Chain A
Amino acid sequence: MTANTITQFAVNVGLVVLSISFLLTVWRVIKGPTLPDRVIALDMLVGIVMGFIALVAIRTGFTLYIDIAISLGLVGFLATVAFARFILSRKRREGEDGSPPDGSSEQATAANGKTSRAISPTALPAPQAGAPVPKEAGPKPPLSKSEATKKTAAKVKIAKAKAAKKVAAAAEPGKSGAAAAASTAGSRPPRKPAVKNKPTVKKETP
């Protein structure tokens, strides 16, 4: 009897933890700024549901559920592969929220004499200026003293990138506007902008 209680307890704890994980993953599906983020989260959902099925199998004693879990894994794998093909053929939409702001805002920041957000093998991006300086800091773009102190004062901590972006937006409110708009949009759930070429899916087979 006590063996049964141990198993049931573990199953209950597992169900609770999996439910929390499920909600967190759904949150990422809703929020995830780009399409690949959502696809990863959906892939993860399949894994979580497999865990659910396994726990239900233990709870009810129907080991036939294993087959269901395996076939669900197969379907999930195929779905992810299909999504990857879709991402490859669709290309990235203009204005889709990526981690760094793209296009116009990048040019705007570059024109303002700040560091460009484009990642090059040597240049380090701006948000790390406040952090402990890494060894291989290459030719860093000039960063004005006041800006640097502001950044260090802002205690860039866990979400370094996001916080730094917000600080940058707050420090220069009168900036060209594009960058500020992009950085605020980055912290909000994305809404699909009305892009000119929306209905056309570019068919580019490499």
Chain B
Amino acid sequence: MTTYIFNVIFAVVWVAITGSATLLNLIFGFFIATIALWIVRGEMGGPGYWRRVGKVLSLLQLFIKELAMSAIRVAIMVFNPRMDVKPGIFAFPLTVDKDHEIALLANLITLTPGTLSVDVSPDCKTLYVHALDCSDPEAARRDIAEGFERKILEAFR
């Protein structure tokens, strides 16, 4: 976490020094700061940060892939002249318990094919998910638990 803060600070410093406050320059500064911090990785932080960066990147990749997949699936379902949907709401028991992780998981679930998170129970233990094809909720629960939830746990723990 501290490494990340250093990274952001370095990027801001880079923007201040080069004197052009564009988004592109900020990204470039962030990139340079990452390289600089990577060079001195032995002195601070340790290897955990870098492994986590990889995990976050793989999470992002999964996110983009699932988004494309879900849009295509919905489009196919809509263009199919015989629309056989079995919508329903199923409960998904959460393993993640931090607020930002639940928010991220809920967002990711909304973008997976055929599922849309509706509500979280007040004690943050259960996520209620609306699915277009709810004929087999067990399989849907398993997909979420073994796909996104595991990735999130890997990325943030």
Q: Which residues of A contact B (CB under 8 A)?
A: 134-136, 157-158
Contact = CB atoms under 8 A, between A and B. Distances in A.
A158 B86 contact: no
* Chain A interface mostly: loop
Interface of B: 81-83, 86, 135
8 contacts: A134-B86, A134-B135, A135-B135, A136-B135, A157-B82, A158-B81, A158-B82, A158-B83
* Chain B interface mostly: loop
Contacts, number: 8
Contacts of B83: 158
A202 B81 CA distance: 42
A134 B83 CA distance: 16
A122 to B, nearest CB: 12
B67 to A, nearest CB: 14
Nearest to B83: A158
A203 B54 CA distance: 48
Contacts of B82: 157-158
A28 B53 CA distance: 44
A70 B135 CA distance: 39
A13 B82 CA distance: 27
A189 B82 CA distance: 25
A134 B136 CA distance: 11
